[in-house]
Amino acid sequence: LLQKVPLLFVSCVNLADAFVPSGRLIELVDITLPLMADTLPNPFSDEIKGIATASGIPLGEVVLFNIFYEVFTVCTSIVAEDDKGNLIHGRNLDFGLFMGWDVKNKSWIISEKLKPLVVNLDFKRNNQTVFKSTNFAGYVGMLTGIKPHMFTLTMNERFSLDGGYIGILEWILGKRDGMWMSFLTRSVLENANSYEEAKALLAQTKLLAPAYFILGGNRTGQGCIITRSRLLSIDILEIDLKLGRWYVLETNYDHWKEPLFLDDRRTPGMKCMNQTTQKNITLKTMYDVLSTKPVLNKLTTYTTLMQVSEGKLESYIRDCPNPCMPW
């Protein structure tokens, strides 16, 4: 982390300046958000304070860096079962929409600043791996992870009128009965010991923001998209080989609704999966699907591939060559 401190500091400042270019927001962040750190549950509160102390970055800016992912991640996640019953989980993490377009380089400023912060983490207890994750240095929640030989998990943003902004505002005002999405995913990766246990926690825990949880297990048929409101599970779509559904794919729209025509990554993603076929799905062909434009776009910071049976997690920092969709 200390090696990435200058990059983390620049990213924190850029996040604030993307909204208020005058620099006044970062002043407000430095004054008010340190107070919010004390309201966060442990161990997250202590870890955020520790990162600020160790890095020298103002506490308010580290808090800002950690809460932005509750409302601004735009992603594609896929869980697929091959013809031998192996589960493969892939995801593109897209971040930085409308946060400053670099006209000269044709890229999103925040997305480019985040790429050098991508790290693969191995969380151990008693010198044994508990789970692995692809993450950003300085971020204490989890967006992408694997509990080897048990389950894989990714989280996608679900846009809603009753969205993350409302939950964060309620938290600031003192209503704190919901859980931060990325804190929940980390808690599940750390504590759940089966696909079914993880599924129940993700479906039933009250949240600060709506979300899609994409979960893969270690047995045939164990793959699902959990569509969440802040209060409850609205829908669970599962792999069902009897219906010919050998994969589930989620972007940022309810699967029973048409995606926004300006942001349809689902249709080309499903077309690629169908052309790949169940017989030929592997980590390599999953990577190919996630490299197809516009599934790969200018917001894509990294691609992660996971195979639960081998406990494998591998990640790639991405660059979408022109011509490429902004999102």
Residues belonging to the active site: 75
Q: How far is CA 172 from CA 77, 130, 211, in A?
A: 31, 32, 20
Q: How far is CA 25 from CA 12, 64, 286, 323, in A?
A: 11, 11, 41, 34
Burial 174-205 (b: 16+ CB within 10 A, else e): eeeebbbbbbbbbbbbeebeebeebbebbbeb
Run of H or E including 129: strand 128-136
- Residues with Cβ within 8 Å of residue 203, at least 6 apart in sequence: 213, 226, 228, 232, 233, 236
Q: Which amino acid is at 227?
A: T
- Residues with Cβ within 8 Å of residue 146, at least 6 apart in sequence: 89, 131, 132, 133, 152, 153, 189, 306, 308, 311, 312, 313
SS3 268: helix
- Residues with Cβ within 8 Å of residue 41, at least 6 apart in sequence: 179, 183
CA distance 153 to 212: 10
CA distance 157 to 177: 20
